[in-house]
Structures are given as C-alpha cells and as structure tokens.
Amino acid sequence: MTGAGSGIGAACAERLTADGATVVTLDIAGSVDHLIDVRDEPAVEAAFSTVVDQHGHLDVVVNAAGVAGGGPVHLLDAGEWDRVVDVNLKGTFIVDKYSALHMLAQGRGSIINIASIEGLEGTEGGSAYNASKAGVVMLTKSMAIDYGRKGIRVNCICPGGIETPMLLDLIDADGMELYRAALLDEHLLGRFGRPSEIAAAAAFLASEDASFITGHSLVVDGGFTAGMRVGILDQLGM
C-alpha cells in the first residue's frame, strides 16, 4: 500500500485491514511500515522483497502515492513537470513493476492504481497532473493486457474531488473561494467525496467479487464526469 501516510492511501489501508487483510504500508512520511520514495527504484525493490520474505506472498497492491501540481504549460517550470510526472507516473510504474514480478512468481494478484478523473478529461491548468494521471490510466490498461493470462488483474480508480489534505490545502487557501464553489458545483451529488469511499472501491476491486474485472478505470466522482448542468431544471423548481 503506497501513499499510506495520509488521505486515500491511509483510508485504503484502514479499510483492507478492517476486512481482514495483512496490510504493509509505504510512504515518504508518516506512521508507516516502510519510509520510501516511490521514485527510488532500489528502495521499492527492497521493500517488496522484504514484504514477500516476511509474509510469503503478495496478493494485492494499492498504488496511492501522488502529488498535485501543474499550471499553463508556458508558465510551468520543467522541474515542476518532472516532480509531478516522476511521482505520479514513474512512481506508479516502479511500484507496478515489482508488484508484477512477485505476482508472476505466484501466478495471481491484483494491482489497483489510483488515477483521477483528471486522467480522463482535461481540466483548466491541469497540464502535468492531467498528463501524469492519464498515463496511469493507459499504464493500467497495458498491464491488464500483458498480465491477464498470468492471473494478475490490473485496474485503476479515478476519484473526483476527495476531502484529502492534497485537495483541502488547495481549495481552502486564501483567494480560492470561487474555485472551491465552482468545483463543488461540478459534483452532482453536491459534496466532495470521502477517502473511505475510494477505499470501498479499492476493497471491491481487491476482492473476489471483482474476479472478472481487469483493465477497468472505475470512476468514483459524485457525478463529476456525467455531464454538465445548465440551469434548465431551476426553471422547474428542481
């Protein structure tokens, strides 16, 4: 479980533990079992080897490490682009690589990558973040093709706005009131999601109930990507 120090990763770790799984947590900071940066391939390799040595197998990996960042490309520093893409996409690749290696040896497994609705459609100023999460969606599909016949399922979850430190630090900042209201309005259920709701989706994809699902991008977004409202129903008092 990467990115398990806070937010969605922490919620997934809590849910899977409650469901009876033995969960090993990784993050760059926080109260976790392994303090590692997912961009550090030797560290990831060593952590996964330790997990398998200690527990004998690796059934499920939830890849939740990620960072925010972006902006219009003509204003975006190349170093910032590299930071976002390296964590969100390269880090996912590295974790998936060692997940697949161990799962191939045992002939089964489930990999769940955390992407975003911003990997499915563009957003204003998204650039690096959108590109990185779109890459996660395509990586997921490619891996599902490569490893399906080997007993390994690979799926991703595309959350909408979820009340995590990453989102709240952005929308609660000074001067962001209009953005917060506009973003909230795009969620048809009238609220942002809870990390536990993404964890519930991850628990489903990890379970035998999802045994015939692979290569899928599960959207959990409160209706964000369903389409737009233009006010017609306001005239009907709805």
pLDDT, residue 171, reads 82
- Of the candidates 174, 89, 182, the one whose C-alpha atom is nearest the C-alpha of residue 138 is 89
pLDDT, residue 237, reads 82
pLDDT, residue 166, reads 84
Residue 82 within any structural domain of the chain: yes
- Of the candidates 19, 16, 13, 18, the one whose C-alpha atom is nearest the C-alpha of residue 27 is 13
Q: Please count the structural domains in the chain.
A: 1
Residue 74 within any structural domain of the chain: yes
Residue 1 within any structural domain of the chain: no
E strand intervals along the chain: 26-27, 34-35, 60-63, 109-114, 152-159, 217-220
For the chain, list residues with pLDDT below 70.
none
pLDDT, residue 173, reads 83
pTM: 0.94
Question: 224: domain range?
Answer: 7-236
- CATH number at 201 reads 3.40.50.720
Judging by beta carbons within 10 Å of its beta carbon (0-12, 13-18, 19+), is residue 140 exposed, middle or buried?
A: buried
pLDDT, residue 92, reads 98
Catalytic residues: 129
Residue 204 within any structural domain of the chain: yes
Residue 215 within any structural domain of the chain: yes
pLDDT, residue 233, reads 82
